[in-house]
Amino acid sequence: MPGLKSGSYTITVKAVNSSGNEFDEATSDAISVLAHDRTGFAFLDGHVPGAYQSDGTIKENAQILYVTENTKNTLTASIITDSKGTASTFTGLAEYIEWIT
């Protein structure tokens, strides 16, 4: 499971209605999260590329875009676009990629 250190966890999913009121929940049995080997060229000399730290947790202030067929045109991302810290919001994967390239 991305974003968790290795260990044992239970996961709870809570269902909410359109008003945001919780009406049901389910909790998993314990799951084991395994550490991944993060050695190799990309991780030389303490360099850790991407949004995750070497222990598998998410880096502070990282933005992770989970893209599916259903969200590729509607996902949003806010990105700092100048040296003054101005943030711009992009909608859709194509618009995001166009800006960063």
| Residue ranges of domains in the chain | 1-58, 65-101
Whole-number average pLDDT of the chain: 87
Residue pair 84/94 in contact (Cβ under 8 Å)? The answer is no
Q: How confident is the model at residue 12 (pLDDT cuts 50, 70, 90)?
A: very high
Cα–Cα distance measured from residue 26 to residue 69, given in angstroms and rounded to the nearest whole number: 26
86 or 101: which leads in pLDDT: 86
Structure tokens at 91: 């909608």
pTM of the prediction? 0.54
Q: Looking up tokens 């000399």, which residue turns up?
A: 45
> Using CA atoms, how far apart are residues 54 and 36, in angstroms rounded to an integer?
9
Query: Which helix or strand (DSSP H or E) is residue 76 part of?
Result: strand 76-80
